[in-house]
Chains A and B, each alone.
Chain A
Amino acid sequence: MIQFVLLISRQGKVRLTKWYSPYTQKERNKVLRELSGVILARGPKLCNFVDWRGYKVVYKRYASLYFCMCIDQEDNELEVLEMIHHFVEILDRYFGSVCELDLIFNFHKAYYILDEILIAGELQESSKKTVARLIAAQDSLVETAKEQASSISNIIAQATK
């Protein structure tokens, strides 16, 4: 199972963290510092796996972002690489040629997409289309809720309550 997912920029900035196992905030910070040190230092033509504290970290660089997933010893590294690629493709489709800025400003959207792909550290949906459809449906739900909230009548109703 996947222990956690990290997105780190080339400068070592964190763009997304998702933890499927219990880690305290302190541990999370430590893990991140340790791993970004190891991963960012690795050259471009090396293999995409790092042994780390009895786990394996599979990472792949897309543009300026490193996508890292930490997995158990028994897990399949190549499968995880495919998962990362799957995630990136869905992001790309959703944002329309995704770039780092998209993820910076829509950090929650990236989370919601990840939540549709992985659950409890396992892959739950391998169809890109389905994920896109689900995300779109939820987006529209959020939008309608927001429109409702920000409509003039609602504001007036609240103000005169």
Chain B
Amino acid sequence: MAGSSLMENLFQRTLEDLIKGLRLQLIGESAFLSKALDEIRREVKSTDADTKANALHKLTYLSSLYFYDMSFAAFHVVELLSSTRFSHKKIAYHAAAHSFSDDTPVLVLITNQLRKDLTSTNEFEVSLALECLSRIATVDLARDLTPEIFTLLGSSKVFVQKKAIAVLLRVFDKYPDAVRVCFKRFVENLESPDSQIVSVAVGVFCELALREPRSYLPLAPEFYKILVDSKNNWVLIKVLKIFAKLAPLEPRLAKRVVEPVCDHIRRTGAKSLLFECIRTVVTSLSDYESAVKVVVVKIREMLVDDDPNLKYLALQALSVVATKHLWAVLENKEVVIKSLSDVDSNIKLESLRLVMAMVSENNVAEICRVLVNYALKSDPEFCNEILGSILSTCCSDVYEIIVDFDWYVSLLGEMSRILHCQQGEEIEKQLIDIGMRVKDVRPELVRVSRDLLIDPALLGNPFLHRMLSAAAWLSGQYVEFSVNPFELMEALLQPRTTLLPPSIRAVYVQSALKVFIFCLNAYLLQRGNAASSSTFDRVVPDVPGLVSERDGPESSSLASCDAPVHCKQDEGFNPRVFDQSFEGLSVEHGGEETATLGQASASSSLKDSFTHESIVNLLNRVELAVVPLTGSYDVEILERARNILCFTELIKRDLLDSPVQKEESLEREGVQASQIIKLMHDAFSNDLGPVSVSAQERVPVPDGLVLAENLEDLETIFGDVQLPSLNSFSLGSPQYEERAGFSIPIHESKEEPVPSSESTSLLAEHRKQHGLYYLPSANKEDDYPPANDTKLQAGTNDDDGDLVKLTEQLLLSKKKPNHAKPRPVVVKLDGDQATIATNPRPKEDLLSGTVRDVLLGSDTNPTSSQGQASTKSSSKRKGKEKLNVDSAKENLGGVEKHDQGNPGSRKSKHHSHGKGRRHGSPGKKGAETEENGQKLKQKSSRTHSKHKARQRAEVPLNVVAQSPVIPDFLL
């Protein structure tokens, strides 16, 4: 047995062998590793400590560099910890610190071993145990080993003492009641003559203060002393961090700190300390104009420094200061803009952020111009960063900074054309949003949309499809502003739309229908006018040749296209015969027409263009483009294509017949078609208003409906489904219109069926109260009230009025719209946030509460009274809490007296130092204590809930907790 272990030991591969072996394996490394791992698995079970240590050594190596799981060896690590040999201990502790986590089961086994090592006479063993504890301490370990750590805090060896201090961070974290025991000695270390001790202590305080700064306000005098006296940059940086957290809580403290900080800025040569001072000023002392001025000078020096690190940090500091002191950024405008073309992407991003901070309604146009130029030149990633930040800045607070919407809309169009643009979704959202919110910009929107739609290149960029969907929707919705609807139709039905995904094609088809109906309606109106004035007669019956003459040379191509179309009509609409020729023609036609009409498109020519020929032409074109879509696999497209085809069937005869026998037919048959067209046109010309994102939220929950508070369960079911947001308008709206379009004729022909009166009245009541949340179809008149109609403003609904006001304000006055509501959180997010926010809370409160208890001198007595309170009925809690606070306050008072009476107490040296200052501001102290008292009240109410656990934990410790009489630290 012994012999075999000896042999094992002699022939075991050492770590060096393993590393060498690994380096020889050029390929098949994994095979070598798994072989080595098998060896280790065997060796680690060996009874020989050397073999075990060696195996663990190798395993730790593999685990830390190759990320092998070594949890299987956890027990062997514990075994090796108890070895008496230092080299073994070292390996074992290293392995433990590397691989143990809070849920490692064997952790409960090492308490005694750690205690033994913490009390060892060998300082290096103590240090190993402390180092390991700083990494792996659990609640149990922290609780059980607090006495040992307390002893070590007073160790005579600096080496051990500083590690004991560092361990406190983890121990306090896990077991807040350790504060009661250790805090006094911990605070004493701030005045240690050894700068290493101070450094570590300040480091721990810094971490603690970052989490809950308020608890450490009473220690401000100690920190202030360090800030003024210390020469150690490491310490100063940490102290500055602490003050950066404390200063915002106590204005008088900030006032006192400003001077020393500025002194450091002037004196120091160390960049790290300088930067920390700068950061402290910009984050926490930005109310002190003089300090900010000093800092901005330093920032400028850093900005022009060759070191990219300094430049980057200076830009960061500037962006912090920008919120309060924009002048600092404006002063450095040139450098910032120049940094946009830096080689370092981090610097570029930072400067972009700064540039966006400078944007105001006066310069937004210039800045966007500059940025778009940068975007054109830069790599795709940064280009999209630029575009993204332009978009998000401009739309913030409901387009607060945009005054000239025509400009902004054309900028959106321009951005879409940038080669690398991937912001289709955001542009889509904004285009539609603007279309609905800002009435006056619609003509420009339609113009921009048209430009985007007819550009065949954009169809090839999948990132822009969403944007195109918005353009299509807008051009359909607001077609009445279009200069040339025919060309819109061309664009919507162009062959390259096959590149679009089905959902967006469906939008295209629907928009085509809207444009089509608009054209027909316009034609009918015109014909109606013409017929009544009888000037139209002469023109219409002309043969195509004459039409071309009439239209003049500018549209000769149009006429030439018309000719075959008419032939086709005569032959009775046989698509098979003309399919090919027509397709070719229509494309050519579109191109030509675009060219001619794009140049000179006056409204007069538009009026003229609604001739019978052009309408017939349009009809054919629509039919030809839509017929292939009826073979689509996508139901959305299929359905809409069918709708269009049926509609064309319906009206075709009337329209086609009319020129031949127009005199007779006009009154007779034309009536039916025109009626349908008019109805549909009416349906489509309803205005859609924006819907508040919080609309859903404001609907009151009906009685008897139980809503689950936590919808997290749903998340698992609908993991992939996104919640609908504003940008789903493009899909939602056409559906709505479709419904409207087809329900109206029925609605007209029949009397509205009256459903059961009770529910209707309820519904009506609800509509009356919450009209905003319904689609604007609730009006008694047959017509839908447009959302932006000012008439409605005077009506019952204030929210609609708000929207109108909003858009008006946006255009006319530059006042901040009062409509801007805080964005409500989506349900899913809500749950997430709540859990994040609440989970870590209680523990920290526990810790800071304890810290405060200790600092306020209300040691174990209040705790026991709290304990009693918690055992009593919860209904009495409130009163008890009050009592508690009072007792804490009493304690405070007593403590003050006590301290004044005993000037020779432990703190006397320090006390005399801070005396003048503190006496100078008695008000501050009063406010502080009161504040603390209040806090304590809150805290104690929270600790109550946690108290059971704490009390249990306290029981074994009580002896220790009471043995050192904890004096106050407040003074």
| Chain A residue contacts of B237, Cβ below 8 A | 76, 79
Give the chain B neighbours of A26 by CB distance below 8 A: 67
Tell whether, in the assembled complex, residue B2 and residue A126 are in contact, meaning their CB atoms are under 8 Å apart: no
Query: Is B610 interfacial (CB 8 A cutoff)?
Result: no
A112 contacts partner chain B, Cβ-Cβ < 8 Å: yes
B16 at the interface (CB under 8 A from A): yes
- How far apart are the CA atoms of A31 and B39 in the complex, in Å? 29
- Supposing A25-B69, A76-B272, A159-B2 touch, asked if A119 and B347 sit within 8 A by C-beta, the answer is no
Q: With A50-B346, A78-B272 as given contacts, are A145 and B86 in contact (CB-CB < 8 Å)?
A: yes
Which of B202-210, B384-392, B482-490 interfaces with chain A? B202-210
For window 310-329 of chain B, which residues contact chain A by CB distance below 8 Å?
311-313
Q: CA A18 – CA B859 in complex, angstroms?
A: 38
A51-B309 in contact (CB<8A)? no
- Indicate whether A47 sits within 8 Å of B312 (C-beta atoms), given known contacts A115-B131, A119-B134, A142-B86: yes
Is B65's CB under 8 angstroms from A108's CB? no
CB distance from A51 to the nearest CB of B (A): 7
Contacts of B122 in A (CB 8 A): 141
Of all chain B residues, the one with the shortest Cβ separation from A125 is B196
Shortest Cβ gap from A53 to chain B (Å)? 15
Contact between chains at A120 and B169 (CB < 8 Å) = yes
B208-244 contacts to A (CB < 8 Å): 210, 232, 234, 237, 241, 244
Interface residues of B in 91-105 (CB under 8 A from A): 91, 94, 98, 101-102
**Minimal Cβ-Cβ distance residue in B for A72:** B210
Is the CB–CB distance between A47 and B2 below 8 Å? Answer: no
Other-chain contact of B279, A76, A138, A141 (Cβ < 8 Å): A76
Partner of B210, one of A74, A105, A155: A74
Q: How far is the CB of B917 from chain A (nearest CB, A)?
A: 28
Interface of B, secondary structure class, is helix
Q: Which residues of B contact A124 (CB under 8 A)?
A: 162-163, 166, 196, 199-200
Residue of B nearest to A78 (CB): B272
Q: How far is the CB of A64 from chain B (nearest CB, A)?
A: 15
* Distance between B95 CB and nearest chain A CB, rounded to angstroms: 10
Contact A137 B124 (CB under 8 A): yes
Given A78-B271, A120-B166, CB of A25 within 8 Å of CB of B90: no
- The docked-state distance in angstroms from the alpha carbon of A32 to that of B65 is 10
Q: CB distance B90 to A47 under 8 Å?
A: no
Considering the complex, give the chain A residue whose CB is closest to the CB of B136. A22
CB proximity to B under 8 Å, residues A9-48:
14-20, 22, 24-26, 28-29, 32, 43, 45-48
Known: A43-B343, A111-B94. A105 touches B134 (CB 8 A): no
- The reply to whether the CB of A62 lies closer than 8 angstroms to some CB of chain B is no
Contact with A along B54-89 (1 / 0, CB 8 A): 000100110111111100000000000000011110
A10 to B209 Cα, complex, angstroms: 38
**Is B275 an interface position by the 8 A CB rule?**
yes
| Shortest CB distance B792–A (Å) | 46
| Inter-chain contact A119/B50, CB cutoff 8 Å | no
Determine which residue in A72, A77, A112, A123 has the highest number of CB atoms from chain B within 10 A of its CB, and name it: A123
Does residue B43 face the partner (Cβ distance < 8 Å to A)? no
Asked if residues B346 and A46 are in contact (CB atoms below 8 Å), the reply is yes
Cβ of A141 and Cβ of B86 under 8 Å apart? yes
Cβ of B831 within 8 Å of any chain A Cβ, yes or no, is no
Partner pick for B308 among A18, A32, A45, A111, CB 8 A cutoff: A45
User: Is A25 touching B63 in the complex (CB atoms < 8 A)?
Assistant: yes
Question: At the interface, yes or no: B419 with Cβ under 8 Å from chain A?
Answer: no
B167 interface residue per 8 A CB criterion: yes
B890 within 8 A of A: no
Nearest neighbor of B275 in chain A, beta-carbon distance: A78
Q: A14-B65, A46-B343, A158-B2 known; A74 and B94 CB under 8 Å? A: no
Contact call B135/A47, Cβ cutoff below 8 A: no
Q: Is B15 an interface residue (CB 8 A)?
A: yes
Cβ of B11 to closest chain A Cβ, rounded Å: 14
- Whether B124 lies near A112 (C-beta < 8 A) is no
**Closest A-chain residue to B103, C-beta based?**
A22
Please give, as numbers and ranges, the residues of chain B lying within 8 Å of A142 by CB-CB distance: 86-87, 90
B841 to chain A, nearest CB (A): 19
- Does chain B have a CB within 8 A of A122? yes
* Cα distance, A29 to B6, chains bound together (Å): 37
**Are A78 and B309 touching (Cβ within 8 A)?**
yes
State whether the Cβ of B32 lies closer than 8 Å to any Cβ in chain A: no
Decide if B131 touches A119 in the complex (CB within 8 Å). Answer: yes
Which residue of A has the minimal Cβ distance to B49? A149
Give the docked Cα–Cα distance between A124 and B66 (Å): 28
Chain A 135-159 near chain B by CB (<8 Å), digits 1 or 0: 0011001100110110000010011
B631 to chain A, nearest CB (A): 47
The answer to whether A104 has its CB under 8 Å from any CB of chain B is: yes
Contacts of A134 in B (CB 8 A): 159
Q: Which residues of B contact A49 (CB under 8 A)?
A: 309, 312-313, 346
Name the B residues within 8 Å of A15 (CB-CB). Answer: 65
Q: Is there an interface contact between A76 and B67, defined as CB atoms closer than 8 Å? A: no
Q: Which residues of B contact A125 (CB under 8 A)?
A: 162, 196
Nearest CB of B to A37, in Å = 14
**Distance, CA A48 to CA B30, complexed state (A):** 33
- A120 touches which of B170, B275, B345 (Cβ 8 Å): B170
Do A74 and B241 contact each other (CB < 8 Å), given the known contacts A107-B61, A123-B234? Answer: yes
Residue on B nearest A80 in the bound complex, by CB: B272
| Assembly CA distance A19 to B101 (angstroms) | 11
Chain B nearest CB, measured from A27 CB (Å): 9
Q: CB distance B15 to A108 under 8 Å?
A: yes
Complexed CA–CA distance, A108 and B98 (Å): 12
A122-B207 in contact (CB<8A): yes
Taking CB atoms and an 8 Å cut-off, the chain B residues in 184-210 that contact chain A are 196, 199-200, 203-204, 207, 210
Give Cα A122 to B87, complex, Å.
25
When chains A and B are docked, how far (Å) is the Cα of A40 from the Cα of B248?
40
A123 with B346: in contact, given A134-B159, A158-B2 (CB under 8 Å)?
Answer: no
Query: CA A15 – CA B166 in complex, angstroms?
Result: 26
Report if B19 contacts A (CB, 8 A).
yes
Interface residues of B in 342-371 (CB under 8 A from A): 343-347
Q: How far is the CB of A97 from chain B (nearest CB, A)?
A: 21
Shortest Cβ distance from B48 into chain A, in angstroms?
A: 8
Bound Cα distance A161, B88 (Å): 21
Could you tell me the distance between the alpha carbons of A76 and B57 in the complex, rounded to whole angstroms? 35
Q: How far is the CA of A130 from the CA of B194 in the complex (A)?
A: 13
- For B704, list chain A residues within 8 Å (CB): none
Give the residues in chain A near B272, CB-CB below 8 Å. Answer: 76, 78-79, 81-82
When chains A and B are docked, how far (Å) is the Cα of A7 from the Cα of B43? 29
By a CB distance below 8 angstroms, the chain B residues around A78 are: 271-272, 275, 309, 313
* Neighbouring A residues of B308 by C-beta, 8 Å: 45-48
**Of all chain A residues, which has the CB nearest B122?**
A141
B276→A76 contact, CB < 8 A: yes
Within 8 A of B (CB), among A83-129: 104-105, 107-108, 111-112, 115, 119-120, 122-127
Identify the closest chain B residue to A161 (Cβ): B2
Is A1 an interface residue, CB under 8 A from the partner?
yes
Residues of A within 8 A of B6 (CB): 155, 158-159
Q: Contact: A149 with B312, CB < 8 Å?
A: no
Contact A104 B19 (CB under 8 A): yes
Q: Which residue of A lies closest to B7 (CB)?
A: A159
* Inter-chain contacts of A32 with B (CB < 8 A): 67
State how many angstroms separate the Cβ of B277 from the closest Cβ of chain A.
10
Kindly list chain B residues whose C-beta atoms are within 8 Å of the C-beta of A47: 308-309, 311-312, 344, 346-347
The 28 sampled A-B contact pairs (Cβ below 8 Å) are A14-B65, A16-B65, A24-B101, A45-B308, A45-B343, A46-B343, A47-B312, A49-B313, A51-B346, A74-B241, A76-B241, A77-B313, A78-B313, A79-B237, A104-B23, A107-B15, A107-B65, A115-B131, A119-B163, A119-B167, A120-B166, A122-B169, A123-B203, A138-B90, A142-B86, A148-B85, A149-B87, A159-B3
Given contacts A25-B68, A48-B309, 8 further A-B contacts (CB under 8 A): A47-B347, A79-B234, A119-B130, A122-B207, A137-B124, A142-B90, A145-B85, A155-B6
A-B residue pairs, 6 tightest by C-beta: A78-B272, A47-B308, A122-B203, A120-B134, A46-B344, A47-B312
